[in-house]
Structure 1
Amino acid sequence: MLDKNDEHYRVIHAEEFSASLQEFQFPELELLPKSTSVIEAISIVRKSRVSVIAVGEKDVEGIVTEDDFLKLPYSDPSSIEGIQLESIMKKSPSILEDSATILDAIIHMGEKDLKHLLIRSGGKIKVVLLKDLLSFTKSRFKNDLENFDEKVKWSKDGVYLQMRTHFDELSNDEPELTAHVFETPLRKVMFNESIYCDVSDNLSDALTLMRNGATSTLVVMEYETELKGVITARDFLNKAYLDLDFQSVKVSEIMTPAPHKLLEQDVLAVAIKNMAKFNYRNVIICNQVGYPISTVSILEILRFICSKIS
């Protein structure tokens, strides 16, 4: 193990997460009737570029997210004619009052594994998104992260040189949480294994894998050895539903090719910098030879940090 670095790390206080949700500009949600057809809803989502819909008559009775559209028994547009939002919505969603804090939101989203959290603000319903948590992290800890660079290229034949002591390699000689936590290796926040499909699979095959694996992200491989791309629920919603033949179209036609990836021994700070610069919510984590083993989101990173706060 490396010798402990002599530099001083700033203490992170719980008060840094105490900002009221009223202080943030979260997007407002429009309420759609339960009888709205999923075909109409898909068109609304595409046009407004939202990732969640509030459903109800006079008040919120449910929500429909990008992931919920994966439940549809889809083969072509005619297969979902007549299906209404009521049949795929999550009923009685969690709603926080805007007097709650950003820490309350992070803990609540982490405990329930939510990508969207509804906020009641006066007579309006707003939503906290993962990108809002990323924006908060980037702004609040800007100075702590400034000495770390984004990482978008690395060679599988290269050697990982650890220049500083990782946060998890220390004994309990740091009684308070410090900015050293941003040097925690990503393997400490890897809670889900990657689910794969082959670049030759069709959209129907990929959709089945996502449903069975209860995931919104598939890693696309070639010959089970080479990472070729990534496909998400958002890709299905924005590029496939209503437009493409799921039996004949391959995942390669709608996937994001050559996605950025990080090593499991890279640190939280690098993942945060990558997410903030390139505007994605998740990052693929690989082992030393470049094989994808997990996907980590900003929520998992913040949940880990907040768990260390006294």
Structure 2
Amino acid sequence: MRVWKWKAALGVSTVVIGLSTGCSSGSGSGTAAGADGDRSLVAGASEGPSAAPSTLADGMGSDQETDGVFPRTVDHFQGSTTIEAEPEKIAVLSTGQLDDLLSLGVVPTASTRADNAGLVPDYLTDTFPQYKSGLAAMTDAGTRQAPNLESLAAAGPDLILVNDSLGDLYPKLSKIAPTVVTAGQGVNWKRDLLLVGDAIGKGRAARQLLDDIVEDAQTKGAAVAGDPTVSMGVSPRTAPACSVSPPSPAPSPSTWDWPGRSRSGSPRSRRTSAPRRSTPPTPTGSSTRSRATPRRRTPPLSWPDRCGSR
């Protein structure tokens, strides 16, 4: 689950965040009672749950309460899908669903990827080394934003899992294989795990996994003394990580790199070896003196440019 990645990277800090945002297995969605800064909102939303909803959305889930029983009908975010037998070749169209399946002991047969990235994020490769060969054999079904339906169909899945952000593709995907649509977005990771579990016949196992995560978080959170302030950052491969403090200011003109002078402004020592290229001598009798032109080093990006536009 995503929580294992966060805990591996941030340790107890993440547990504190999880507890402060209501990481429990009891309540459903609800709305935040505190300030906006206390919320965990879906990107772009002005209102939403104060914590990740830990139950299935109303009216969704399987008609079978016992794991491993098929056929089963699953109500999801684009309708209702009947799955006749336990799926053996599952295609996932988001990293969250790949995460969910691996956490439940299932390796999909096809997956999508982010632009200019591999099919399996490093944190999943590190967390599930036992599935290395199976993950390497997955079919590349294109990108998350634009899945390759021909490659997907060629993989022959008997179940497709997709986020509601690609809900417009549901009619086409349903012609390839039975399709279950989850909510997507990070704040819905718990209910998406439960819905994925229902779809593959492991609803109770998914509930137990979620309860174990919550219990572990509560145990570690109780061991944290006082009321610490916690910050959490994301460091994508394609961009530098944002630190808590702004970077150092751009160099002042006194530290510009002038020919013949060091960055501190003092004259450089004379070279003992020949220069790399010679300067044409000044014509005899000429009063013209060559003027050195400063080469200004490009200053680092400003704080908003580096981190504010993420």
Query: What is the TM-score normalised by the length of structure 2?
Result: 0.22
Larger radius of gyration: 2
Bigger relative contact order, structure 1 or 2 (CA pairs below 8 A, ≥6 apart): 1
Greater strand share, structure number: 1
Query: What is the TM-score normalised by the length of structure 1?
Result: 0.22
